[in-house]
Amino acid sequence: MVARCPDIASPPPGLLRRLISLGVAAYLIWQIAVPLRYYLRENRRDERFAWRIFSALVIAPYRCDVRVAEVSHGEQLGREVNLERTLHDAWIGLLKVGQDAVVKRFLRLRCRSDPLVDAVEFSRTCRREDRAPAPHLRVRLECRSGDITTHEEMQ
């Protein structure tokens, strides 16, 4: 496959050429399918392989705040986790864009950190300057059962 001198101009011989062609076709299908999954999804918060160039989450017409609260002993209002003291700033940034995997991993970490915690709740509230509707996301993890409920709406 690595052409070398002096026969440097030659294409690969028949069978190898066919194998390469198959590989190329499969690779192209994969390259088109991966970003396409993002564009066909309703949840567009994972832009990693979408080839957007300009992120719709980072360059968004709204600003988002996030908070995480731990609920124990049937409390109605949870105890707020000090994210600034707990996480590196870069992770808070990823929570602000609502990356599901990061949110879920952090909630699980909080559940494990204290056996008295019954549930951990993440909320992401976004606001537009023109007061038009903006995304609001709430994710709650029940520590004992591991059940996750996600609620997303425009507010």
Partner 1 sequence: MTAWDRYWFDPVAAVRPYVLERAILFLLALDAWVQFVPHGGRYGAGGFNVAHFTWLDAVQPLPSPALHVGLMLIVGGLAWVIACTGGTRWLRVLLLVLYTYGWAMSRLDAYQHHYLLSLLLGAFVFFPQVRAAQLLDAGGRRISAWAYVLVAANVAIVYTFAAVTKTEAGWASGAVLRQVTQGSPWFQDVWSWVLETGLRNDTLWELVARAVALMQIVIAVAYLVAIRSDASRARWVRPLAWAALVAAVGFHGSLLLFTIEIRWFSYYMIAIAAAFFLPEPPLRGIVGLATVPVRTVAQRLASSPRPATGLRTVSVALSASCIVALVGIHLDLPGAIAAGLICGGALAVVGLVAALRDNPERARRVAIAAAAGALALSAAVHVLPVRFQYYLYVVADLQRRGDAGQVLAAYEKAEPYAPRGQSRQRQIEALRSHLGTHGDR
Contacting positions for partner 1 (CB under 8 A): 1-5, 8-12, 17, 20-21, 24, 27-28, 31-32, 35, 39, 47-54, 56, 59, 61, 84-91, 94, 99, 101-102, 105-106, 109
d(CA 104, CA 68): 11
Judged by phi (left if over 0) then psi (alpha if -120 to 50, else beta), residue 98 lies in left
Nearest distance in Å: CB 140, partner 1: 19
Cβ neighbours of residue 101 under 8 Å, at least 6 residues apart? 46
Nearest distance in Å: CB 76, partner 1: 28
d(CA 107, CA 69): 9
Nearer to partner 1, 77 or 103 (CB): 103
Nearer to partner 1, 102 or 148 (CB): 102
Nearest distance in Å: CB 39, partner 1: 7
Give the distance, in angstroms, between the CA of residue 72 and the centroid of all CA atoms in the same chain: 27
Nearest distance in Å: CB 58, partner 1: 8
H or E element, residue 139: strand 135-142
Nearer to partner 1, 76 or 89 (CB): 89
148 close to 110: Cβ distance less than 8 angstroms: no
d(CA 95, CA 118): 21
Nearest distance in Å: CB 51, partner 1: 4
Nearer to partner 1, 32 or 154 (CB): 32
Nearer to partner 1, 26 or 144 (CB): 26
